[in-house]
Structure 1
Amino acid sequence: MALKKMFLILMISAVAVSGFAGGSGDGSSGGSAKPVEFKVGLLGDIQTLNFWASNDINMSAIMEAVMPRFGFMDTDGMIKPHLFTDIEIKDNSKTFILHVKPGLKWHDGTPFTAHDVVFTGEYLMEYKLFQNTRYSNVASARAIDDLTVEYKLNNPQTGFMDVIMYWVSPVPKHIFEKVTDPMNFNYESTGVVGLGPFKMSEWKKGEYYIADRNPDWPADMGTPKLERLIYRVYKDENSLALALKTGEIDTAARHVLPSVANQFRNDRNFSLFEMQSPGYAYMGFNGEKSEFAADPAVRRAIAMCVDRPKIVRLALEGNGIPMPGSVSPIYKEFTSSNINYPAFDIEAAKRALANAGYADTNGDGIVEKNGKKLSLRIMYEGARSDYDRSVRVIKEDAAKAGIELILDPVDRQVYMDRQNRTKEYEMMFVQWGAIVVIYDSFYNLYGKDAYLNYANFYDPNLEKWAKAAKESPSIPDTIKPMEEAQKVVVDLCPTIGVWVPNLIYVNSAKFDGYIPYYFSFNGTLTMGSLINISPK
């Protein structure tokens, strides 16, 4: 099948790699009783093994092996299917016919069919789960037969199947059709029924997760050479780096900073892969928890306190680029108009606050309004040194403008719970792992009912333009509405982009066959790579 290239993106390649090819090896361990194991380090625990109830980058690393998405982005930046054999696009991108790959089984032996595909979109939308807005333009969906799905859209949408394949993992209908509270459903109790080349066999939250090779995985999709994946949990970056050095793990699920990578560069026992991130770091505001976070004047003033070049130099050790607007600069077609946040200017921030009625009446250096000190707590993962350094720089410069930012470093599990469930935060600093097919993703970030719109921010103009960009018949048609949507974001500052990192992944040289997919947030741990990795 020849899929159209639905988006334009910059790719920086650090090494020459092969395309997706699983190989046909039998994965034997050479007669040894011990299975061929590959050990992965996680920085912090996962939130839940209920894959559709959380946007957790650690959990996504396990998903690649156990619950792959409908498709993937190859090393040339093209989105291709994993679980479909063919996709027909008709009616000017308003009708899509999906042909499901035959022979696939859920890990409990239940066949994977078109009915699971249809159920997935309906379920995500009904319960407003992760990636729900990817289906917001669907007028109807039906299973023509067990292996054929028809989607009809309300409006033409050039990137419809790109985002479905890149982002969405199928939901097992036979399990979830009886689950009416998916956010609190204990999926672990079912044994975690996945669909991928590995299946969950054992886990102990906070310590480890084990997945064994799936004997029912179709050979024509590539038989893994690895027989067991072991994911081990580490609480901080130092212990993760030490585990790599000592051979306790073979790779890490997250990238490392240059100071850590330099420990491995000239060591023959390791291989390094470097790439441009498809994601970025940003600050978000929760106006429902703070009147100051709800004030656009305050958000704009904080934007004027973000010295991006200094933060990149200090927090990323220079290994990244500033992000001046609401779209990553790697998307040149969507950033050529330079629609940027207010520039770094402490004096301008002071004036903006004064014009909005804020004044330092008691001389303590922090402005007030209506008798309340302008103070906000900024939540972030304390184990991330790049986050910690970033917020400390911003805190220092914000104080010069009369804004008090109280640092709130928390454990990863606390962070994920507050972000996804309780919404108990005023500000947060975090990084999107990947934002691709940007003209669709904008609606997934700011749409009224979008799962990733954590603070429930709503502006009618932003809603209108983001929806228009998403529902466009061609890429050129997305440019204008994307520009208008960006204007709203940089004016109202519901989020503030900070930096785009360069990613460095460290891998054990005891194994061959790593395939770093440069558009993935999982580095060398994508499904295609895991199938290809083999011991030397």
Structure 2
Amino acid sequence: MLHVFTRAIRRHHGERLVHHVLGFALTLLITLATPQGHAQTRGGTLNFVVTPEPTALVDLATTATNVLKVSPKVVEGLLDYDFRLQPKPSLATSWEVSDDSRKFIFHLRHGVKWHDGKPFTSADVAYSIQTLRQVHPRAKTTFANVTDIAMPDPYTVVITLSKPAPWLLKAFSSSETPIVPKHIYDNTDVLGNPADNAPIGTGPFRFVKWVRGSYIEYERNNDYWDTGKPYLDRIVVKVISDPAARTVAFEDGSVDLSGDSPVPLSDVQRLKGDPKLALETRGYEFQAGVARIEFNLDNPALKNLNVRQAIASALDREVIRKVIYYGYATPLASPIIPSSPYYDPTPTPYPFNVERANALLDEAGYPRKADGTRFALTVDPLPIGDLPTRTAAYVKSALARVGITVTVRSQDLSAYLKRIYTDRDFDFSINGMSNLFDPVAGVARLYTTSNFRRGVPFTNGSHYSNPEIDQLFTQVAEETDETKRKQFFSQIQRILERDLPDINLVSPQYLTIYSRTVHNHTISPDGVSASFADVWLQR
């Protein structure tokens, strides 16, 4: 049709006018083809809220969600993924996997430069993976069977495994396996390197400054390898600690975007009615996880299985779903989320039953004293968002009914991580853990003996050890038959639900809240933890 129109214009008005009309027509077609009828635009500043304030700006040694939201803006991975978790090119343009899933070959993008001008090569990839194996909470498990990382040339990486890992190709996103510059980190204290807080990457945005307690600023990388991107000039990551203040900031337009249900869930219905704002539930396919109680099994009382069974029996998951999560959650007892193909729906062996909880505590040797109490515990809720603290308040109330006195302790994220994973000075905590792309990566780290790693956050904080669980996770990590994998995961879930090193409560439905002027903020399973190279503003 456009061709016919062009011929007619040329015949009546000449060649010069054709170019003007054709350009206008193409612009019109692109505009109409763009969502909401607006052409993609360049420029502007995105005001992005991350809470609490990140403890670092590179996710090399942490899986804290607040760090995962900022790191990929600067530091990239070998691959990106679509919503079906199928891989797409990023720093790697192509890849091959051997039939036995023991060799992974990545062909790297040519001409990529670090933000300091140095060339990106295979040496950076090999260094990053080896370093992640030492300091990252999940990489020790993810890359456990790596025997060699070869660099036949500056643009090829060959990873060889001792055993199959059919799920490994899903592990190379920027938020899971960040590629950092070897020339910056090599022969330094990786955990104390200044680049952790002033990152140098290959990504679409360059770090500008971090004003602690206020904001983090990033600017457009004009030398980005994906020509024409990013569309934004700047990202300002705002730190707003008060949940109610975040709600107001969305309403008055001072912030544009945030994820992980950034406002009190009691405010969501009101924000839904604001024509300037919208909600998104996609973008949590990697992060999707479970809200849980994690016991310190070194505590004498909690080491007693009867006590843990009693605590489980005293909690009503349906109350947690309705009252704490306002319905944005699914009750479950398994560490694997219901949307996973490996989820076992077998009911919990410890349903809500206060009478049974009291009987179990009596059997455990903790009778009520004259004041009606049995013993006291302290709970440490993860200081990210308000949901762990709200859950802790409910747990305190529920356990008081069976004679357990609970004190809720508050602290910032750094103090929490040190207390739980380094000092181990806690009774039980309330946190959330992601299932990720496969339970081998997201779940095994919480329960295998080798993942009791003092000082490494979000690993086996309970100090649980069961040789049967260790063996099952080893087997399922190598298994290529899906039917057998489901059987292994079913066994794992039933053993963990019986042993209760933790109590899985609900699988939350996370929400992203955004101004309708923000486009392409959720185009992958990483959601707002992606690079934002494709984000643009309609101002």
TM bucket by the smaller chain? 0.7 to 0.9
The answer to whether residue 124 in structure 2 is matched with residue 116 in structure 1 is yes
Match status 1:279 vs 2:285:
no
Residues 103, 276 of structure 1: alpha-carbon distance in 2 compared, 3 angstrom cutoff: closer
Q: Which residue of 2 aligns with 1:356?
A: 364
Residue of structure 2 equivalent to 1:435: 436
- Once the two structures are superposed, the pairs formed by residues 229-244 of structure 1 within 5 Å of their partners are 229-244=235-250
- The whole-number CA distance in structure 2 between the counterparts of 1:47 and 1:151 is 31
- Tell me which residue corresponds to 1:302: 311
Q: Summarize the alignment of residues 326-365 of structure 1 with structure 2, pairs less than 5 Å apart.
A: 326-331=335-340, 333-336=341-344, 338=346, 340=348, 342-360=350-368, 362-365=369-372
Counterpart of 2:256 (choices 247, 250, 253) is 250
The residue that corresponds to 1:8 in the other structure is none
Q: Which residue of 1 aligns with 2:395?
A: 394
Is 1:535 the counterpart of 2:534 in the alignment? no
Deviations 1:388-447 (A, max 9, x none): 322222222222223222211333343244345444322111122553312442223323
Q: Distance in 2 between matches of 1:100 and 1:437?
A: 25
Asked whether the 8 Å contact 1:50–1:186 carries over to 2, the reply is: no
Matches for 1:114-193 after TM superposition, within 5 Å: 114-127=122-135, 129=137, 131-165=139-173, 167-179=176-188, 181-187=189-195, 191-193=198-200
Q: How far apart are the structure 1 equivalents of 2:351 and 2:180? A: 44
Shift of 1:228: 0.4
1:526: which partner in 2? 530
From the superposition, tell whether residues 216 and 425 of structure 1 become closer, same or farther in structure 2 (CA, over 3 Å): farther
Change over 3 Å in CA distance of 1:398–1:81 after alignment to 2: farther
Contact 2:435 2:443 in 1 (8 A): no
Unpaired runs of 5+ in structure 2? 1-32
1:268 maps to which of 246, 263, 275:
275
Aligned length: 492
Equivalent pair of 1:447/1:453 in contact (CA under 8 Å): no
Distance 1:380 1:258, change over 3 A: closer
Q: Secondary structure at the match of 2:494?
A: helix
SS of alignment partner, residue 480 of structure 2: coil
SS in 2 for 1:449: helix
Task: Say whether 1:323 aligns with 2:306.
Answer: no
Given residue 67 of structure 1, which amino acid in structure 2 is its aligned partner?
Answer: V
Q: Which amino acid aligns with 2:152?
A: I
Q: 1:55 to 1:499 in 2, by over 3 A?
A: same
Secondary structure of residue in 2 paired with 1:125 = helix
- 2:322 paired residue among 273, 290, 313: 313
Are 2:304 and 2:364, in contact at CA under 8 Å, matched by a contact in 1? no
1:460 to 445, 459, 467: 467
The answer to whether residue 505 in structure 2 is matched with residue 501 in structure 1 is: no
Change in 2 beyond 3 A, CA 1:243/1:494:
same
Spell out, residue by residue over 1:48-107, the C-alpha distance to the aligned partner (whole angstroms, 9 max, x if none): 224212222111111121113333331334243422111211141111111122222221
Contact 1:447/1:458 (8 A) holds in 2? yes
Which string of whole-angstrom CA distances, capped at 9 and with x for unpartnered residues, describes residues 184-238 of structure 1? 444357x421221111111112211001111221135x61110100001111211
Structure 1: gaps (5+ residues): 1-17, 30-35, 368-372
Superposed displacement of residue 516, structure 1:
4.8
Q: Does the 8 Å contact 1:103/1:218 carry over to 2?
A: yes
Determine whether 1:53 maps to 2:54: no
Contact 1:114–1:145 under 8 Å retained in 2: yes
Distance 2:281 2:345 in 1: 29
Assess, with a 3 A threshold, how the Cα gap between structure 1 residues 50 and 420 changes in structure 2: closer, same or farther. farther
Alignment of 1:83 with 2:91, yes or no, is yes
Superposed CA offset, 1:233-253 (max 9, x none): 111211111111122211124
User: CA 1:132–1:105 in 2, change beyond 3 Å: closer, same or farther?
Assistant: farther
- Cα 1:273–1:98, aligned 2, differ >3 Å: closer, same or farther? same
Q: In structure 2, what residue type is equivalent to 1:234? A: I
Contact kept? 2:518, 2:535, Cα under 8 Å: no
Q: TM-score, with normalisation over the residues of structure 1?
A: 0.85
Query: Among residues 88, 91, 110, which one is paired with 1:102 in the alignment?
Result: 110
**Match runs of 1:216-227 below 5 Å:** 216-220=223-227, 223-227=229-233
Contact 1:141 1:149 in 2 (8 A): yes
Query: What's the CA shift for 1:364?
Result: 2.4
- Specify the SS of the correspondent of 2:165: coil
CA RMSD, Structure 1 to Structure 2 (Å): 2.6
**SS of equivalent residue, structure 2 residue 270:** coil
Q: 1:261 Cα deviation (Å)? A: 2.1
Q: Is the 8 A contact 1:365 1:399 kept in 2?
A: no
Shift of 1:129: 4.8
Q: Name the TM-score, length of structure 2 as normaliser.
A: 0.84
Does residue 200 of structure 1 match 2:207? yes
Q: Summarize deviations over 1:305-325 as a string: whole Å, max 9, x none.
A: 221111110001112211222
1:10-37 alpha-carbon deviations (Å, 9 max, x no partner): xxxxxxxx99xxxx97x754xxxxxx21
Deviates more, 1:144-153 or 1:434-443: 434-443
Q: Does the CA contact (< 8 Å) of 1:115 and 1:173 recur in 2?
A: yes
Q: Which residue of 2 aligns with 1:32?
A: none
Partner SS state of residue 50, structure 2:
strand
CA distance in 1, matches of 2:117, 2:206: 12
Matched residue type, 1:227: D
Residue 262 of structure 1 aligns to a residue in which SS? helix
Query: Which structure ranks higher in relative contact order (CA pairs < 8 Å, sequence separation ≥ 6)?
Result: 1
Distance 1:329 1:108 in 2: 44
Partner SS state of residue 379, structure 2: strand
Going from structure 1 to structure 2, the CA distance change for 1:515 and 1:195 (only over 3 Å counts) comes to same
Distance 2:236 2:332 in 1: 36
- Report the AA paired with residue 532 of structure 1: V
Displacement of 1:258 in angstroms is 4.1
What is the distance in 2 between the residues matched to 1:60 and 1:383?
Answer: 13
The DSSP-based 3-state class of the residue aligned with 2:495 is helix
Which entry has the higher C-alpha Rg, 1 or 2? Answer: 2
Measured after TM superposition, the shift of residue 339 of structure 1 is 6.1
Code of the residue aligned with 2:439 in structure 1: it is I
